[in-house]
Amino acid sequence: MSETLPQKPRFSRRDAAEIALGASAMAFPVATAEEIWNLGMSLSSPRVLLLALASNLVLALLIYSLHEARHSPERGLPLLYRVLATYGLTLLISALILASIDKLELFASPWVALKRTILVAFPASFAATVVDGFSKS
């Protein structure tokens, strides 16, 4: 009797497309809120960085639990890779949406642009992970 090895988790183009869809669906309504624009200007840098760190930690837990549910949990480097890929793609989509509504201000105020992008990416990254998880269950 041959033993089947568990399939190695990987990050495919389909995963990226699902993450992009989920991130876009949540990032657009958040990015168009004036509160986000104002928070990007007024919130202190340490608080925004803490929000980014919290977002990545929660993403790791969410991704782990979604993959645990299908009996092939991602651990170690594959988990780290998926978290960083999800968050990075979400940041990119958030920045593109902010730029499309002329609220990124990348050259005039790069730090405000980064803070706004992180604020938009916070809920968008969770939506992206959930949409990506639909095909995994």
pLDDT tens for each residue of 30-42: 999 999 999 999 9
DSSP 41-83: HHS-HHHHHHHHHHHHHHHHHHHHHHHHHTT----HHHHHHHH
Model confidence at 44: pLDDT above 60: yes
pLDDT given at position 8? 56
Model confidence at 136: pLDDT above 80: no
pLDDT given at position 125? 96
Cβ 36 vs Cβ 101: under 8 Å: no
pTM of the entire predicted model: 0.86
Cβ 82 vs Cβ 8: under 8 Å: no
List Cβ neighbours of 95 (8 Å cut-off, separation of 6 or more): 104, 106, 113, 117
Model confidence at 71: pLDDT above 70: no
Model confidence at 124: pLDDT above 60: yes
Which position has the higher pLDDT, 78 or 135? 78
pLDDT confidence band for 85 (50 / 70 / 90): very high
